[in-house]
Structure 1
């Protein structure tokens, strides 16, 4: 991101410094059209540790986590970035062997964390300048995300006709659209689609009754939820939203849920039949699966919904459903952005 390098330049921090490069990668989601997912935990860990460095203090682990959770969108953050997630990711992405950011220590016999002074001054950089860069750059990123969330909510509020809604959805379907925008839009559309259906269910023949189908969203985009994005009740069908046709991803997802059947919402402009054919063909070409095992995996695709299916649902939306759909979109985005925490 240009704003990252602009801040680094203003602070006198070299553009090749590992922390500048790391922030440039991690802040792509600030772009209005970016499909990058927000990943705030590691950035917030860097922010509070850099603040401590500049103030000359060392904070307890629990105090650092409390400060992270007090930041915008941070209420649901867990402790993983301060434990090992930030260090692990930093090492994986670094172009060379560099010190890891988070250093374990103690304060009054209690677990604490500091930022690595060796990393701050890496390559002869001024450690205070680098720490100041971290605080300013991550704070600027938070401001950009806040502005972005307001833009999306404003776009929803301005929907007045079904054609306006279709234009909004087409933005969500575009190749470079924010991953959260697509997941929320697909959920609202499929929720509306299934709400028009019902099933007959009962423990005994005499007690069978008609129950409406209801789609629930189980978490937030990129959440650590085992890959389950939606659940359709009372059928108990699991849905996952994705943008890839990589067979490795699908087969791994099946393994994660003990090979339970899954439905997928795929951000591709193809038919569901073409998507399934491509996945199977690529798996066959890999020569990694016996015929029986491959068929076993392919049988776990309960259903597939592509952009063509979602557009078909959108095409059938009547004007009378417009306010209901706008309300659903607004609610889901507020949940996504943590505005209801």
Structure 2
């Protein structure tokens, strides 16, 4: 399969070239396990739209670490090894940065299942498990590879690649925490300055978590001033203000919808991409229920819709299918539109409510997020 190219691929090649001078790209192309890690490290240097998933990385990490600790890369004999105990591997996973909430799924089946999806014709899977003894091995066939007839061992490089990925993810998350703390501190010192700070956060390269928090706070207050009338008969109408609810943690990779509006039942999804596949996947999740997309871009909404339609026609080539999906895009809200709505809220004198909501959501992320606890504990690269 073709090698996925992204920003962290450069770092992977740097590490491989360190261990195997001038052959990094050849090693990467020769190893399915390295290619899998390349796919799984795509989010390293982005603003972390999705919460970093370390389960599969760490399942590989702890088994390769056990392999190296026992010096099988030097002295051999791994085929006679009794295997690592599950409880030791599981405990080690939870000692690692971001790992204190990990479950056993990756070690037991999830990593192997996902690996097969990417390499369906390969006869090897990364983890070998003896269910009777509850012992585990990394598949040495994926650790030892042959290049030009010579065998090389990539175990040490794998550890360094995962370490580098954790470091990159920590940096991205620390930047998010800094934004949260800045919002809290500025609001306490100078509310007017906080409003300008919020405006400065509405830009395409802002951390995706910050963007979701800010966009939610603005839209919640913007819609909160709007009222609808409804009832079971014309004689009995109820007046109700629109309320926007967050449905989960900020940018959680939970497959759900980000905001829901009551009583209209509108769905909102925050995204940083203009990708028809992603939009249509979100639409399919809710059985083609209409969705409003809040997009972290300065591009005009008309341009976004044209691009989505072009991608959709190229992918499906069936007008009826494309039309059904496009009809489910209820509205597109870009950054300029968010700014306009924020200005509207400020004109009503409700800027303070936006600030309070941002502070509230930031405090939730800052104080409760389990990843924060890990960052405070682990300041160095995985050891």
The verdict on a shared fold, with TM-score over 0.5 as the criterion, is yes
Ranges in structure 2 where 5+ consecutive residues have no aligned partner: 1-7, 71-82, 187-192, 375-383
Q: Structure 2 CA distance, aligned partners of 1:84 and 1:137?
A: 23
Q: Structure 2 CA distance, aligned partners of 1:26 and 1:284?
A: 29
| Residue of structure 2 aligned with 1:167, choices 196, 200, 206 | 200
- Is 2:267 the partner of 1:238? yes
Q: Structure 2 CA distance, aligned partners of 1:202 and 1:79?
A: 50
Q: CA deviation at 1:11?
A: 5.3
- Is 2:124 the partner of 1:102? no
Q: CA deviation at 1:238?
A: 2.0
| Residue of structure 1 aligned with 2:337, choices 289, 309, 313 | 309
Q: Structure 2 CA distance, aligned partners of 1:69 and 1:192?
A: 40
1:135 alignment partner in structure 2: 159
1:327 alignment partner in structure 2: 359
| Residue of structure 2 aligned with 1:41, choices 27, 34, 55 | 55
Length-normalised TM-score, structure 1: 0.74
Deviations 1:198-256 (A, max 9, x none): 4456678658353551321424536142x422222343322222344444443443333
1:51 alignment partner in structure 2: 65
What is the aligned length?
Answer: 328
1:181-330 superposed matches below 5 A: 181-200=210-229, 208=238, 210-221=240-251, 223-225=253-255, 227-280=256-309, 283=312, 288-291=317-320, 294-316=322-344, 318=346, 320-321=352-353, 323-330=355-362
CA contact (8 A) 1:28 1:34 kept: no
Structure 2 CA distance for partners of 1:28 and 1:281, relative to 1, 3 Å: closer
Deviations 1:137-193 (A, max 9, x none): 4234324433332222223433542222222332xx23xx55444444433433343
Q: Structure 1 CA distance, aligned partners of 2:314 and 2:172?
A: 42
CA contact (8 A) 1:260 1:300 kept: yes
Structure 2 CA distance for partners of 1:268 and 1:149, relative to 1, 3 Å: closer
Q: CA deviation at 1:262?
A: 1.8
SS at match of 1:103: strand
CA contact (8 A) 1:29 1:178 kept: no
SS at match of 1:259: coil
CA contact (8 A) 1:190 1:215 kept: no
2:93 alignment partner in structure 1: 68
Deviations 1:1-21 (A, max 9, x none): 455455555556963253455
SS at match of 1:339: helix
SS at match of 2:362: helix
2-11 vs 160-169, which moves further? 2-11
Q: CA deviation at 1:327?
A: 0.9
Give the CA RMSD over aligned residues. Answer: 4.0
SS at match of 2:339: helix
| Residue of structure 1 aligned with 2:144, choices 107, 118, 121 | 121
SS at match of 1:303: strand
Q: CA deviation at 1:86?
A: 3.1
Ranges in structure 1 where 5+ consecutive residues have no aligned partner: none
Structure 2 CA distance for partners of 1:30 and 1:309, relative to 1, 3 Å: same
> Higher RCO, 1 or 2 (CA under 8 Å, sep at least 6)?
2
Q: CA deviation at 1:116?
A: 0.9
Q: Structure 2 CA distance, aligned partners of 1:121 and 1:286?
A: 39
Deviations 1:106-133 (A, max 9, x none): 352x4x532111211222223xxx4344
Q: Structure 2 CA distance, aligned partners of 1:207 and 1:76?
A: 48
Q: Structure 2 CA distance, aligned partners of 1:52 and 1:326?
A: 44
304-313 vs 210-219, which moves further? 210-219
CA contact (8 A) 1:155 1:168 kept: no
Q: Structure 1 CA distance, aligned partners of 2:144 and 2:89?
A: 22
